Amino acid sequence: MSAFRGLRDDVYRRPLATALDRIELGEGWTCVDVGAGGGEVSIALAEVVGATGRIFAVDNDPASRDEVAAQAAKFAQVFAITQAGEELSLPMPVDLAFCRFLLLHVVDPARVLKKMAAALKPGGSLVVQEPITSAGRINGTPFSYPEARHPDIGAFLPALVRDAGLEVVDAWAEAPAGAGKGPVANYLEELTGVDPGDDAIVLPPLVTVVARKSNR
């Protein structure tokens, strides 16, 4: 049923697949992935938009550009750019502006969202995915993430997107959960460096907002 079936199996990828289904991402789309990191999502987008599409993988860390260039070597439609989201400026307007696990780290999330909205074509789509860190639980104890500037920004995401001048089409929160060995424990161990053993885990809910820019 979904063109994004492969995305659905991995931790935190199910809400991405749902959002991409929802906007009907397809061949030939032009997209920007802001705060692209290693380019995992940029590559997933590149597979869907195909050779006639274009993906700008933007990150303020130059190491990301090298990593994306290496990971996406076989995708000529992926362009890795070193740029801060606050100064987002692309060679052309895009059909989709996307970010995941970015806004919790930036100084001014509202400014980044406004830049992403400005990068869209009229009628273009925005998909943003950010966590509510403190709503995650390990053995019933809330997560904390003191290094993040806005660890609970997911709780404000629909309002921030609305305030960036876009129409919110859909918004929801989704949290992978597990106990003992499995993808959720592996993810947590990768993130924290600590093996959670048999502990019950609810990862921080990821709030996804799907929005649209007006046609006018």
Binding site for ligand SAM (CB under 6 A): 34-37, 40-41, 59-61, 64, 84-86, 100-102, 105-106
Distance, CA of 187 to CA of 210 (rounded, Å) = 25
Nearer to ligand SAM, 27 or 49 (CB): 49
Residue 147 or residue 215: which is nearer to ligand SAM going by CB?
147
To ligand SAM, the closest distance from the beta carbon of 59 in angstroms equals 5
Residue in the shown chain whose Cβ atom is closest to ligand SAM: 37
Please say which residue, 51 or 191, places its beta carbon nearer to ligand SAM.
Answer: 191
Give the shortest CB-204-to-ligand SAM separation in angstroms: 12
Distances (CA, A) of 120 to 30, 36, 62: 10, 17, 24
> How far apart are the C-alpha atoms of 53 and 2, rounded to whole Å?
19
Smaller CB separation from ligand SAM, 34 or 72:
34
Q: How far is the CB of 206 from ligand SAM (least distance, A)?
A: 10
Q: Which is nearer to ligand SAM, 1 or 147 (CB)?
A: 147
Least distance to ligand SAM from the beta carbon of 115, Å? 10
What's at 192, amino acid-wise?
Answer: T
State the nearest-atom distance from the C-beta of 10 to ligand SAM, in Å: 11
Would you give the distance in Å from CA 79 to the centre of its chain? 17
